[in-house]
Amino acid sequence: MADVTDTFPITKISKSRIGEVDFTKLEFGKHIADHMVLAEYKNGAWGTAEIIPYGELKMSPATLALHYGQAVFEGMKAFRNKDGNISVFRIQKHYERFTKSLERMCMPIVPEEMFINGLKSLIEVDQAWVSDVEGASLYIRPHAFASESKLGLKISEQYKFVIMTGPVGPYFNKPFRVKVEDEFVRTAEGGTGFTKCAGNYGGAFYPTMLARQQGYDQVLWTDHKEHKYIDEAGMMNVLFVMNGKIVTPALNTALLAGVTRGSILTLAKDMGYEVEERKVSVDEMEEGLKEKTLTEAFGVGTAAVVAPITEFGIHGMDYSLPVPDVNSFQQKVKKKLIAIRRGHEPDVHGWNDIITLS
């Protein structure tokens, strides 16, 4: 079978920067691999995607994305498996979500072949950046933005699609202290909360900054109407263990359908847990903390996989949970998911796309 790189024009960098990287001390987002995928949309169609050296893109100060926010992205990971090949986790699911984000932002759909084969080709070219150091992985950032230069308020007629990657280490995070937000909102039903668009993140900075000034690490968002129901934790989905069940807010247009969230819920069922996707009220959560029927809480996402939550600020009162140990659900499911991604456990759900290296 021919390499997928055969279908993409490739211009290779003259000298790799990989020698600058200490793979035993990786900082998230600090290093970008040597190459990137670039494609442009104009005159109603996407042009040919190319793999070129990673570098700056020329753009006008009047670029529409900078003014009106047409910009979306995905966050994915690839892993070096025990056989030396590379697995990319749930490409199809990420492509589907990327497509939904583009549709909601009135942006042209990136062809599936361009997204998937371009991503695989890029990883083949930069395969040396996928480290076999314990806990390391390759973070993948596909994104698209309006590139037309015009100040008028309009839907852009020109776009750029880029995929870049970079090595990241294990996400060792201390347990989170979260403030249950009862004033600000991240998004609202009917809005763009289910997408990964740039504005969702910029709009969350201010309330998160205020929460940190009060001694918390992140915000636990609540619904926009009454601040009565839990939405998300920071920029991650949130899960609870309540009365021995795995409970998480049901998805709606205000919540991101996290790929890690969906994977963990599937694994929870495989492990024999009862799973409930439903509204979770602040009152129910507070009562569970008081009565100790809520025994675990954690955020889930691509970067951290699992981020334990052990402190809650609710209406001026603080509540605590014990730090999860190796027997907790969140640590067991995290270990299982990592093992599947790296080929140490069978991939019974077909989540891994394997890039076989010669």
pLDDT interval class at 311 (50, 70, 90):
very high
Helix axes 259-270 and 329-341, enclosed angle (nearest 10): 110
For residue 67, give the H/E element and its range. Answer: helix 64-68
What average pLDDT does the segment 173-198 reach?
93
Q: Mean pLDDT throughout 262-267?
A: 98
For residue 41, list its beta bridge partners: 46, 159
Lowest pLDDT segment from 53-57, 170-174, 250-254: 170-174
**pLDDT for 248:** 98
Lowest mean pLDDT among 158-172, 205-219, 273-287: 158-172
Cβ neighbours of 9 (radius 10 Å): 10
How far apart, in whole angstroms, are the C-alpha atoms of residue 269 and residue 127? 34
Domains and CATH numbers, the chain: 4-168 (3.30.470.10), 176-341 (3.20.10.10)
Confidence of residue 170 (pLDDT cuts 50, 70, 90): confident
Residue 316: per-residue pLDDT? 92
**Opening angle at CA 281, ends 277 and 284, nearest 5:** 100
Q: What would the pLDDT profile of 75-113 be if each residue is shown by its tens digit?
A: 999 999 988 999 999 999 999 999 999 999 999 999 999
**CA angle in degrees (0–180, nearest 5) for 151-155-157:** 90
Enter the DSSP assignment of 345. Answer: S
C-alpha–C-alpha distance, residues 296 and 178, integer Å: 14
pTM: 0.94
Residue 2: pLDDT band with limits 50, 70, 90: very low
Q: What is the largest CA-CA distance in the chain?
A: 63
Assign 34 a pLDDT band (cuts: 50, 70, 90).
very high
B/e letters for 31-48, b = 16+ CB within 10 Å, e = fewer, are bbbbbbbbbebeeeebee
Q: What is the pLDDT of residue 173?
A: 66
Q: Is 119 helix (H, G, I), strand (E, B) or coil?
A: helix
Cα separation values, 162 from 4, 7, 37, 49, 165, Å: 17, 17, 5, 9, 10
Q: Tally Cβ neighbours within 10 Å of residue 105.
A: 23
pLDDT band at 172 (very low <50, low <70, confident <90, very high): low
Average pLDDT over residues 244-270: 97
- Residue from 124, 103, 151, 135 nearest 37 by CA: 124
- Percent pLDDT > 90 in the chain is 88
Residues 291-307: tens digit of each pLDDT: 999 999 999 999 889 99
Cα–Cα separations (whole angstroms), residue 78 to 85, 168, 285, 331, 341: 10, 10, 35, 21, 8
